[in-house]
Structure 1
C-alpha cells in the first residue's frame, strides 16, 4: 500500500465565518489561528504556539468542515487522511505509514487532518494481544505528536473520545467538543442553505434533532425534488 495514495490534498475554500460554531469553540479556534499569525513574535517572548487540536463529538456536526475552515484561514495546504484506511494487519507497517504522513506534512508546513483518530489512538490495555504491537503503535504516535513542528498544525477528529489513550489526549493543547445542533442553530443553517434558491424552492419541511450533515442532505433532496417536478411539468406543457 502506498500511503500517499490515501492522502487527500485540499485547498480549502470554506470561510471559517460561515461555519456554525458555538461562541466558545469559535473563540478558541480564532485564538489558535492568531497564534500562528504572530508565531515569530510569540517565540521572541519564549511563548509556545498551540498546534495540536482534537475535535470530538457527534458525527456530521462539522469537524471536517471546521478543519477545512482553519486551513483556509491560515492559508495552509490541507492534508486529509482517514485512519480507518491506514490500519494494516502488520502494526509495524501502520506505524511506518503514519510516520511518513507526519514527515510529509511537516516538510510542507501543512495542516494535517487525521479523521477517525480512535482507529489508531485506542487506549492501551493489559490484554495480552495489545501489550506488544498496539502499545508500540500508540507509543510511536505519541513521539510523532511530541515532535511535530510548531509551523505545522495537527488536527485529529473522533466520534469516540472515550476510546483514545489518556497519554495521547494529554498531547492536545486544545480539545473542542461538537454537539448536535439545537432548533435555533438548525433554523439558521437551513436559512443559509436555502438562501441561494428562489423563494418558492425554499419552502421545505424542516427536520430537527439531526446533525448539520443530515439537515443539508434532507434540505437539498427536497429542493431537487421540487425543481425536477417543475422541469417535468414544463416539459409536459411544452410537448402539448
Structure 2
C-alpha cells in the first residue's frame, strides 16, 4: 500500500500538555487517560478496560491536533497521523483495505493513531449514488477496526463537524472533548505567552478576540514581524544618512 507523507506521517517538536490552553475538565480527562495507560498492566490484572478511543471535536484552530501530539509525547508513544479526507479521496474502492492496513500497523507498534478530518466519513454521503454502497462498507470497516483495536493502542480522532458523523461511530469513543473559541481572558493569557520572549518594544500589538488560538498566534506574530522589519528599515536609512 502506497501512503504519501502528507497522508500518514510522524510529527516532531510538539507542545507539551502544560503548554496547551485546555479547559480544566478536558485536562482532567486527559490526565486520567495518561494514568490509565501508565498503569495499564495493573488494570489488566483485574480485567478493567482502559479508555483508548478519544474524539476531539469543535472549532478549527483550537488545539485538537496539538492535543493529540501532546498526549503522544506524554505517553512516550510515536504519533502516526492519518488524514482521512485525503486518504479516502484517491481510489474509493481501495479505501477499506487501506484503512485496515493502517490500523493493523498501528496495532503492532507502540503508537498513537491519530485520524484527522474524521468527519469526512459523514461528508461522503454527498457523493453520488454509485459510491453510497462503498461508503457504507467503509463505515462498517472503520467500526470493525475500532472495535478490534488492542487495549494498549490509543486512537484519537479529530473533527470540526461532529454532527455529520455516523452515530454508530460516535458511540465507540469513551472520551469526547469539545474545543470552543477561547474567551477574551484566555486569549489574553495566550497572547502574553506568545509575546513574553520578545523585548518590550515589540510587544505593543493590537489584540484581536473572538478567534481561535491558531488565528491569535498568526495575528500576534504578523504584527511582531512588521515591527522588526520596520526597525531594520530605519537602521538602513540611518546608516545611509
Q: Deviations over 1:152-208 (max 9, x none)?
A: 111000011011101100100100000010101100000001111111111100000
Distance 1:230 1:191 in 2: 22
Give the aligned CA root-mean-square deviation in angstroms.
Answer: 1.8
Distance 2:73 2:12 in 1: 7
2:184 counterpart residue number: 183
1:220 counterpart residue number: 221
Secondary structure of 1:175's aligned partner: strand
Name the stretch that deviates more: 79-88 or 158-167. 79-88
The alpha-carbon deviation at position 120 of structure 1 amounts to 2.4
State TM-score, norm by structure 1: 0.94
Distance 1:160 1:141 in 2: 18
1:100 counterpart residue number: 101
Name the stretch that deviates more: 105-114 or 214-223. 105-114
Q: How does 1:159-238 map to 2 (within 5 A)?
A: 159-238=160-239
Whether the 8 Å CA contact 2:124–2:135 is kept in 1: the answer is no
Distance 1:214 1:80 in 2: 23
Secondary structure of 1:132's aligned partner: helix
2:27 counterpart residue number: 26
Distance 1:55 1:153 in 2: 13
2:133 counterpart residue number: 132
Q: How does 1:110-125 map to 2 (within 5 A)?
A: 110-121=111-122
Name the stretch that deviates more: 100-109 or 39-48. 100-109
Q: Which sections of structure 2, spanning at least 5 residues, go unmatched?
A: none
**Per the alignment, do residues 173 and 123 of structure 1 end up closer, same or farther by CA in structure 2, a change over 3 Å counting?**
farther
Whether the 8 Å CA contact 1:56–1:176 is kept in 2: the answer is yes
Whether the 8 Å CA contact 1:12–1:68 is kept in 2: the answer is no
Q: Deviations over 1:68-87 (max 9, x none)?
A: 11111111001112111111
The alpha-carbon deviation at position 122 of structure 1 amounts to 5.3
Q: Which sections of structure 1, spanning at least 5 residues, go unmatched?
A: none
The alpha-carbon deviation at position 130 of structure 1 amounts to 6.0
Distance 1:92 1:84 in 2: 15
1:3 counterpart residue number: 3
Q: Deviations over 1:217-237 (max 9, x none)?
A: 010000000011001111221
The alpha-carbon deviation at position 8 of structure 1 amounts to 1.4
Aligned residues: 239
The alpha-carbon deviation at position 123 of structure 1 amounts to 8.7
* 1:51 maps to 2:84: no
Distance 1:206 1:165 in 2: 39
Name the stretch that deviates more: 137-146 or 112-121. 112-121
Distance 2:132 2:116 in 1: 25
Whether the 8 Å CA contact 1:121–1:168 is kept in 2: the answer is no
Whether the 8 Å CA contact 1:124–1:165 is kept in 2: the answer is no
**Per the alignment, do residues 50 and 12 of structure 1 end up closer, same or farther by CA in structure 2, a change over 3 Å counting?**
farther
1:65 counterpart residue number: 66
